[in-house]
Amino acid sequence: MKVLLTGAGGQVGRCIQDVFSCTNHELLPLDRGQLDITDKERVLDVVREFSPDVIINAAAYTSVDRAEKERELARAVNALGAENIAIAAMQVDALLIHFSTDYVFDGNKTTPYIEEDATNPQSVYGETKLEGERAIRRVWGKHFILRTSWVFSEYGNNFFKTMLRLAREDNEIRVVDDQYGCPAYAGDIATACLKICETDAEKKYGLYHYAGNEVVSWCEFARAILSVAGQRGKIASMPKVAALSTIDYPTAAKRPSYSVVSSAKFVQEFSLPPSNWVEGIERTFFYGEMR
């Protein structure tokens, strides 16, 4: 199977390369410098030349706060770029796997969001990701859209890395404790992609949620990360992790207070468990030491 991967330099893209390196599939990983998905003609040319069976679009604008000031750039990547990829996939009859976000929801529920729930993004980032979803559905039916949540790994910049850095710099860290999600380890997301590729999935096309198996606040997540860091000797001393309310930690972009998504549909269709974020923390440290 020939697989073209965009956004290969990001944390999900790099984990996909790791997972696919253990298979016989022919993977062509392209980072932003090699393929800018906002360049429609370039996208069409590259896809036409490689003629993949599957395109995995891991390219995205993910700076949630900066997007409030860079709406057009966020839209160019997350919406128009996604549309370009869908058009290219259609032209070569390739399966398209695309990633979206829990931030398409407003956070007003108190039970996990399912795929049929109404969307109501509260930020430019969420709006542009939802626009990308809609563009893909409009252009090309042979697709899987995976909404995920609070992604972390040994690669790139993410909450996990930020907590480690702060723990090495300060003896007290203040973290929001009234926003809830279900963190997803990027390696598990990569495994989910491989599962899709290797499944006779024609009758399963569409929208899925795939994220962590347990609900946690940012503060609880931080404490779990630093607990393992302390056990592994990754920090000299354990800082105090103080709980903070959202109102006391203003950000440019509004975050949903509850963005937990249910992976039940994906689990049922593909017989793959949700991401285990507790194990993901251990794996992040382990693979971080290996690489």
Annotated active-site positions, please?
125
Give strand pairing partners of 100: 147
Distances (CA, A) of 53 to 26, 60, 158, 174, 216: 10, 21, 31, 46, 37
Give strand pairing partners of 152: 185
d(CA 47, CA 203): 24
Q: 120-132: buried (b, 16+ CB within 10 Å) or exposed (e) per residue?
A: ebbbbbbbbbbbb
Tokens linked to 120: 């109501």
Owner of token pair 């599962």:
195
Nearest Cα neighbor of 121 from 174, 75, 178 is 75
3-class state of residue 24 by DSSP? coil
d(CA 63, CA 78): 11
Name the strand (E) or helix (H) holding 101: strand 95-101
Strand-pair category, 180-181 with 216-217 = antiparallel
DSSP of 180-243, one letter per residue? EE--EEHHHHHHHHHHHHTS--GGG-EEEE--BSS-EEHHHHHHHHHHHHHHTT-SSSPPEEEE
d(CA 288, CA 60): 23
